[in-house]
Structure 1
Amino acid sequence: MQVTDPRERSGDLYVSESSAPLPPDDFAEAAESEAVTAGWVVTAFAFDDDGRVLLIEQPWADGWICPGGALKPDESLAEGATRELREETGVNIDPIAPRGVDEFSFVNEETGETIGWTLVVFEAVAESAELGDDLGLDGEEITDARWFDGLPDDVYNPDLFEPVYERCENSR
C-alpha cells in the first residue's frame, strides 16, 4: 500500500497520539482487525450546502462519530474516505483536505506490546444531503446517521474530534 502521510505535506493538521489498554485475549483479537492490518483508517467531517455536518452512531462508540474505516490496498486516503462515507451513509463526498492525524495504539495490559493504525480525518463537501436507505455494509452496525448544525455534546473522542472539527470550520 502506497500512502502519502499528510503530515509530510500540510502544516495545519491537528496531530495527536492516543492509546487504549486491552487484556491479552482482546489484544489478540484486535491484532487481526481490518484497521490494524491496513495500518491506516480514514474518516471525514462531511458538510452539506447548509454547513451541517454528517455523523453516525455505532454501538461501540460512546457518542456520535465521523463515518470512516480502514483503507483498502492501493487506495489513496481521499479515495478511502470517499468510499467509506458512501458505504456507511450513502452520501457521496468531495474530500477537501486532511485536517487531523492520530496515531492510535492498543496496549497489551500484560506484555506492553502495542498495535495500531494511523487515523486521518478529512474535511469534505457532500454532493447531496440525502442519506442512503441502508447504513453500512453487512456486518457493520450503524444505528443512525444524521446531519447536525454543529458538533453534538456527545461526540466520540472529543479530545481528537473537537479540535479537528474547529480546523474544518476555520477553513470554510
Structure 2
Amino acid sequence: MDDRETTDLRTRLIDVGVDLVTAEGAQALTLREIARRAGVSHGAPRRWFPTHVELLSAIARRGFADLQDRADRATGGAGTGPRARLAALAETYLDFALSQRGMYELMFRHDLLESGRLGLRETSLPLFETLVDLVGRVRPEADPRVLAGTLWANLHGIAQLWGWGSLGLATGADSHVPLLKAALDAHLGPEEPR
C-alpha cells in the first residue's frame, strides 16, 4: 500500500468517526463500527491507530479544530470590542457544546486528555489563550488566566447542565442565553450601557 492510500484510509477512518460521533454519540465509537462503516476489516484501523485511544484522539482533534474555526469566525469581527468578542466566543462555545453533544463529550473525555495523545497544546490551548487575552482586555486588573479558567468552567457547567435538562428545570429558563449573560456579568462585571 502506498503513502497516498495510507493517508486516504487514515483520513477516511477519522471522517467516519466524526460522522458516527455526530449522529450517534461518543458511545458508538468502537473500532469495529468505525471499520465496518469505512468498509475495511475490523483489524485494519490498528495499522494507522495502534490503540483505540489514538483513533478517538484523532477524531476529538477534529472537534477542537471545528470549535476553533467557529470561534475564530465569531471573534474576528473588526470594530467590535473585547467584551462583545468575548460574548461571541462564549455563545459559540455553548452553541457547539449543545449542538455537537457527542463530539463535545468526546473532546473532554478524561482518558483522552490524560493519555497525552490528544495534543492539548495544539487543540484546546489556542482557544483558551484567546479567552485569556479577551478576559485580560476586559478586566486588566484581574489575573486573566485564573478568571478565564473560572469563566470556562462556568461555560462548561452551563453546557453540561443545560444539555442534561437540569438547568432549565432548576431555573425555569427556556433558553441558556440569560444564563450566559449572568455568567459573563458575574465574571466580567455588568456590561456598560451604550
The two structures have a TM-score, normalised by structure 2, of: 0.20
Larger proportion of strand: 1
Larger proportion of helix: 2
| Greater Rg by CA | 2
